[in-house]
Amino acid sequence: MRYSTTRSACLVGVTGHPVTVEVHIGSGSSVFVLTGLPDRTLDEAKVRVRAAFEHAELHFPDSYTVVNLLPAGIPKTGAGCDLAIAVGVLTASQQIPRNELASTVFLGELGLNGAVRPVPGILPCLLAAVDAGASTALVPTQNAMEASMVPHLTVIAVDGLPEVIAHLRGEHTIQPTTPRPPPPPPAQPDMAEIAGQQRARRALEIAAAGGHHLFMLGPPGSGKTMLAERLPSLLPPLSDRQALEVTALRSATGLLPEHGGLIRHPTFSAPHHTATMPAMVGGGSSSIRPGAISEAHHGVLFLDEAPEFRREVLDALRQPLESHEVIVCRSRGTARFPARLQLVLAANPCPCGRTAECQCSPATRRRYLGRLSGPLLDRVDIRLELASVESSQLISTRDRSEGSAEIAERVATARSIARDRWNAVGQPWSTNHEVPGPYLRDAPWRLPATVTGPADWMVETGALTARGYDRVLRLAWTLCDLAGRSTPTVEDIAEATGLRVGHQLPG
């Protein structure tokens, strides 16, 4: 009996899990058995590996061969373990030496001609493998640049199974892949392109400074989409940890550019209003994939024409907005997807979308906007009503709007003030949106009644819920940080309350 083990990794959701590939070659008829909860794609590795051996003129054992994927209780998906299975069979059949395999991880799909093809999710898989003790990785050439982003890992790029064998036998040593410098960031839309809409520009700056959710209501052409697309340009670059999280998630979904490097800027996800529940929150039958919510992790999720989305799809946002993660449960397992994002909703006042010629009745308008449930809107910090842009603002060349770079500087300063304030008292929050409401309502952060008067009055009249009151406090602290004050004033509370309810307060 002959036995060997090799290392690989697989994805469960967007998280990599190390996999140990056991190969046992015993006596008996020529049977190839694969165990360890493989899905249909992985189970077909038996055919791909055998064909790759024949094409490379390698001997495949003509006896009882068992491949077991450990840990056996975790479902294995995809074709990423093909290369590890092939190397394990070669090692167990003594066609290549066993030395130096203990710390090497093998990832790649095998073609029938022995070619090693790229697979999605290389980055999270290799991060998990490094945590498990791997120091070297053999990956497809197309995945080499992505794999080189993993720290403390030697990456060997291969194109085919014969090349792998020659490297492992010492006949032809492949030099490790050298990481390339990151490409320049793509140009982003600029706030200077927005004509007029001063109140909306102010609201967007506040949303960026505090990480607050935003809802914009206005007629077509008022600039809702343009404003939403420019929100990422106001946000600070991602930290190293955030960049690795976002890049790994994009790698798992197959959306990472081949030579893109780490994603350093907040992402922007704008699904179409026909998006289904799995497309929005994640799911799937054979493998559980993240949805648009998680694709906007550490970025912006924009839902244009929000009332046109299905009601249950919109309401599915409520829990992730509070917990910052999506938990998808299926019979084959449970996956957790990160969902720390900023939500931007946009809607027309009525279904027809016409302004002067609109003939929609008040009841029709109420039904249309009623598709946005109260509990969902209660989780939105800023509600903004936009008017149509005047022609004088469109053709004026005297007063150019302020650009994104200038606004982003103020946003970065305000975020730094908030982060330093909360970190100084031992809290991990980096934006005011993350601060729990009870924390702001308790000493020493509780504001005096002379300051919170406008919000208190709105609660008493029923215009603000308890959740809305907490969001007003968070907005007030963001306004305070933008102004460079140490504590919010009654003017900050009044402006925050007006932003929350969607109109300026009387008096």
- Domain 2-169 grouped into CATH 3.90.580.10: no
Q: What is the mean pLDDT of residues 203-224?
A: 93
Tokens coding 171:
């006949």
- Where is 136: in which H helix or E strand? strand 136-140
**How confident is the model at residue 507, as a pLDDT?**
44
**How confident is the model at residue 260, as a pLDDT?**
65
Which residues, at least 6 apart from 101, have a Cβ–Cβ distance to it below 8 Å? 4, 5, 6, 7, 87, 91, 168
Domain range annotation of the chain: 2-169, 191-398, 409-501
Report residue 241: phi and psi, to 5°. -65, -45
Query: Are the CB atoms for 101 and 117 separated by under 8 Å?
Result: no
Per residue in 233-260, pLDDT (tens digit) is: 999 999 988 998 899 888 888 777 766 6
- Where is 367: in which H helix or E strand? helix 362-369
**pLDDT higher than threshold 80 for residue 418:** yes
Per residue in 130-176, pLDDT (tens digit) is: 999 999 999 999 999 889 889 889 999 999 999 999 999 888 888 88
**pLDDT higher than threshold 90 for residue 358:** no
Per residue in 251-310, pLDDT (tens digit) is: 888 777 766 678 889 999 999 999 999 899 988 766 778 889 999 999 999 999 999 999
β-pairing, 214-217 with 342-347?
Answer: parallel
Q: What is the mean pLDDT of residues 14-33?
A: 91
Return the exposure string of 40-78: e unless at least 16 CB atoms fall within 10 Å of the residue's CB, then b: ebbeebbebbbbbbebbebebbeebbbbbbeeeebbbbb
CATH number of 191-398: 3.40.50.300
Alpha-carbon distances of 334 from 43, 327, 329, 364, rounded to whole Å:
21, 7, 4, 41
* pTM, to two decimals: 0.86
- Roughly how many angstroms between the first and final C-alpha of the chain, as a whole number? 88
Q: What is the mean pLDDT of residues 348-364?
A: 82
Strand partners, 137: 105, 155
d(CA 235, CA 263): 14
Which residues, at least 6 apart from 291, have a Cβ–Cβ distance to it below 8 Å? 278, 279, 280, 281, 282, 283, 326, 337
**How confident is the model at residue 505, as a pLDDT?**
47
